[in-house]
Structure 1
Amino acid sequence: MANLNKVMLIGNLTRDPEVRYTPKGTAVTDIALAVNRIYSTDEGERREEATFVDVTLWGRQAEIAGQYMRKGRPVFVEGRLQMDTWEDKQTGQKRSRLKVIGEAFQFLGGKDDGSSPAGSPSTQEFAPPGGGGYRTERPSGGRPQPSGGSGYRSEEPHPASPPPDFGHEEEDDIPF
């Protein structure tokens, strides 16, 4: 049986990222996304709930996130799930948490919305086919190679065709 560990999220940053470095000099940053879900109750009342997701970025992606991401900014993150487990030092209990290891991210929103600092990369679409900003080679940890586009991605290839343009629909126009 085949396995798939793939996560795609669109949400807003809940805090500014802080870049730190491992003893070997690799950049790492943890970001948190608020991913909202709007739904209707049985009585027809619209409700919204937020899910908070922790995401860890490594290498050049971590540095770029630290430089350009700011609290409240919308971002698309693609990655994989990872379970962290540890023993609580105070209680001795085994603890665990599920988080996302970010393998690619994309800034969302335009420069006109005031959410992006001057000179920062920004786009309203996902990265174009064949280009995604920076490709990070995982095994060797070599220097990232620019490849065009405005997203930041590891070695996974882009789809063969661009995503469909859904336009700018208001939330009221969405049937679910």
Structure 2
Amino acid sequence: MARGINKVILVGNLGDDPETKYSQGGMAVTKVRLATTSVRKDKDGNTQESTQWHRVTFFGKLGEIAGEYLRKGSQVYVEGSIRYDKYTGSDGVEKYSTDIIADEMQMLGGKSDGGSSRPQREPRREAPPANHGSDDFSDPEIPF
């Protein structure tokens, strides 16, 4: 019998700057609010937008990266799982929360998107010389 799958994929924009704290063991815990917006047409043909807000938590090295490079307005791709919690608030009332625990994150957009700065990629290395003696198609002028 399968164990089950708890997988979430979100692409959205940060509503605020990330908040990073550290556990007693020194592990980074970064929390963000992520907005995802969907667009649809109503029965009259008018465009309707619907925005959902998600609480996303990053742990460890991913938490350090998110805290350092993400900013309010940054567009980000997140993969993770949903976690539901129940707790008693300071007023004695039971409360519920839904959080996304991130496993993977990819920064999208450029510096102009919310002022986020991204780490530079490693320079692309030259393609190996084409092997003209075989049926393989290889051309160093093609960028892929």
Which amino acid in the other structure matches residue 101 of structure 1? I
Offset of residue 20 of structure 1: 0.5
- Greater gyration radius: 2
Which amino acid in the other structure matches residue 19 of structure 2? E
Unaligned runs of 5+ in 2: 123-144
8 Å contact 1:107–1:121 — kept in the other structure? no
Identity over aligned pairs, percent: 40
2:108 aligned partner: 108
Report the CA distance shift for 1:13/1:40 in structure 2 as closer, same or farther (over 3 A): same
Give 1:1-176 correspondences, 5 Å limit. Answer: 2=2, 3-90=4-91, 92-111=92-111, 115-117=115-117, 120-121=118-119
Give deviations 1:44-78, integer Å, cap 9, x for gaps: 11111110000000001111111100000100000
Report how many residues are paired: 121
CA RMSD, Structure 1 to Structure 2 (Å) = 2.0
**Which one has more relative contact order, counting CA pairs under 8 Å at least 6 apart?**
2
> Per the alignment, in what secondary structure is the counterpart of residue 5 of structure 1?
coil
Unaligned runs of 5+ in 1: 124-147, 149-176
Q: TM-score, normalised by structure 1?
A: 0.64
8 Å contact 2:58–2:102 — kept in the other structure? yes
8 Å contact 1:81–1:99 — kept in the other structure? yes
Report the CA distance shift for 1:67/1:25 in structure 2 as closer, same or farther (over 3 A): same
